[in-house]
Structure 1
Amino acid sequence: MDEQLAGAAGAVFLVVSGMSGAGRSTAANVLEDHGWYVVDNLPPQLIPAMAELATQARDTGHPVLRIAAVVDVRAMTFTSELREGLAAVRDRGWRAQLVFLDATDEALVRRFESVRRPHPLQRDGRLLDGIQAERELLRDLRADADVVIDTSGLNVHQLARKLDPIAGASHGPSLRLAVMSFGFKYGVPLDADFVFDMRFLPNPFWVPELRSLTGVDEPVASYVMEQEGAGTFVERVVALMEPVTAGYRREGRRYATIAVGCTGGKHRSVAVAEALSRRLADETVASFVVHRDLGRE
């Protein structure tokens, strides 16, 4: 356990914010499923009071060690109060983090149209006007975030899986790596910290008996990893990440995304992402795989 957390016995206060339609409700559900105490639409100026109540609850034998507050655009006039509230929580010995959920305008328009609901800031304008107004309001908050997650290409289940390591952030390894496979034809993930291109490997799509399978199937995984350069690539990425992950831990960064792409996100990137995730995991690093575009074809 970090020395800075010793006084709070590993207590974590998480603020979840971001664009309307980017997945805040899903995030809240995932956190609740992991046993977090979730407060929806908590005014930022009440964050220190919430942490103080939780601290007092520990003294009664009913500890609340993980609190998540969901803050939306209705509270963004209190941005300075949010910064002050997080600082006050840290002064009380809690580890406070801000998670920002984002998505492209196109993805947000599609989501709002699918549920036939107006944007909170739309008023008499277009749906896109509301989205752009909210993006402007949240610009500084996004810049302050400890973790930014782009949900544009993720369904509810994929977003839940990507949030799982954050939901368990008070326990286990100090750094969590998401290894995401994707298809270049669907766009590069906006939240990727590192992007690698697997199109230098032969495509199993052109092997008739492998075409209908995916990179999680053993025949495809074996075919991909047996190609010249595949094993060397994995080994060198693992070596590359060693000083990076060490630096992340020194700087207090706890989450990063490695994106591995191929043409469609079905064969090569999936197989290599699985191999990378297995090799990157150790006592201080927890890695998990997200196959963003698997099943889209």
Structure 2
Amino acid sequence: MRFVIITGLSGAGKSQALKAMEDIGFFCIDNFPPALIPKLADLFYESKNIDKVALGMDLRGGQLFKDIFSALEYLKKNKYDYEIIFLEASNEVLIKRFKETRRKHPLSDGGRIITGINDEKQKLEDIRRMANSIIDTSNLTAAQLKQELFNIFLEGRKFKGIIVNVMSFGYKYGIPLDADLVFDVRFLPNPYYINELKSLTGNDAKVRDYVMKWDEAKEFLNKLDDMIEFLLPFYIREGKSQLVIAIGCTGGKHRSITIVNALYEILKERGYSVVVDHRDIGEE
């Protein structure tokens, strides 16, 4: 029996997460009153007709949400296994999402959205600390969030506590504002000046082979890998749930994409949750 509680900040993607869980085969209920968790757990654990349950709950329930802690104590006392997935996102992203959907934040009382967000963060601190997985959806599309949940609940990959977003970009279009680590690969020979490679991208084998044939490219990737492998456990220890690594070249189409794809494969092989974003691949 897998009994999963999905909660987190309003606007962080709980509804999308529940849709993904339904696709996996979970019986899902949104905005479920925490006080009813014990009765539901007894029902499902005893009947054994349903072996995967996901409950969505948040502060829309007002005072009722406080019942979650006594409900979780009941689950522990009766030795009912459960998991908590906590979804969050940056203030900037949450504000943008609320403005785009023209929704009112449930705790803003008609005032500023940021006031509601900060209030909600404070009220959810305790449940966040209890979470098995904290997923930052700031840079995740709905499809990427779905894939992350698939990795956890279908493939059984252990969530290491952080999602690594590896992004390629072109300096001519500006450095990504949300990047935590930025690396410049403009020192590598540029495929743009090779006629047969100019119109291709780092996703093409010919460009990848050209970029990676240079000793400096291989050495850079090795050193970059060593540094990131060293840093990630410390970011996780400090509670960082998402790390954005931006790698740039002039136009963001050849060298940066090649290195990003190579780093993605390395981190994925090590079991990290990795998302790739080639920001400027479609630019002229």
Tell me, yes or no, whether TM beats 0.5.
yes
What is the letter of the counterpart of residue 111 of structure 1? R
Matched, 1:15 2:5: yes
Cα pair distance change 1:222/1:73, threshold 3 Å = farther
2:246 aligned residue: 261
Q: SS at 1:42's partner residue? A: coil
CA contact (8 A) 1:181 1:269 kept: no
Flag the structure with larger Rg. Answer: 2
2:215 aligned residue: 228
1:199 aligned residue: 184
Q: CA deviation at 1:28?
A: 0.6
Q: Distance in 2 between matches of 1:203 and 1:77?
A: 58
What is the letter of the counterpart of residue 176 of structure 2? Y
Cα pair distance change 1:207/1:146, threshold 3 Å = same
Cα pair distance change 1:107/1:43, threshold 3 Å = same
CA contact (8 A) 1:16 1:100 kept: yes
Matched, 1:50 2:40: yes
What is the letter of the counterpart of residue 151 of structure 2? P
Pick from 71, 74, 98 the counterpart of residue 84 of structure 2: 98
Q: CA deviation at 1:140?
A: 2.9
CA contact (8 A) 1:204 1:267 kept: no
Sequence identity, in percent?
A: 30
Residues 252-287 of structure 1 deviation map (CA, whole Å, 9 limit, x = unaligned): xxxx867542137765565445434544567xx655
2:150 aligned residue: 164
1:218 aligned residue: 205
Q: Count matched residues.
A: 268
Point out where structure 2 has 5 or more consecutive residues left out of the alignment.
none
Q: Distance in 2 between matches of 1:93 and 1:296?
A: 52
Q: CA deviation at 1:87?
A: 4.4
Matched, 1:151 2:137: yes
Pick from 27, 32, 38 the counterpart of residue 17 of structure 2: 27
CA contact (8 A) 1:179 1:290 kept: yes
Point out where structure 1 has 5 or more consecutive residues left out of the alignment.
1-10, 190-194, 249-255
The normalised TM-score by structure 2 is 0.72
Cα pair distance change 1:280/1:224, threshold 3 Å = same
Q: CA deviation at 1:108?
A: 1.6
What is the letter of the counterpart of residue 59 of structure 2? V
- Structure 1 residue ranges (4+ consecutive) displaced by more than 6 angstroms after TM superposition: none
Moved more, 135-144 or 96-105: 135-144
Cα pair distance change 1:214/1:166, threshold 3 Å = farther
2:176 aligned residue: 186
Q: CA deviation at 1:40?
A: 0.8
The normalised TM-score by structure 1 is 0.70
Q: Distance in 2 between matches of 1:144 and 1:268?
A: 42
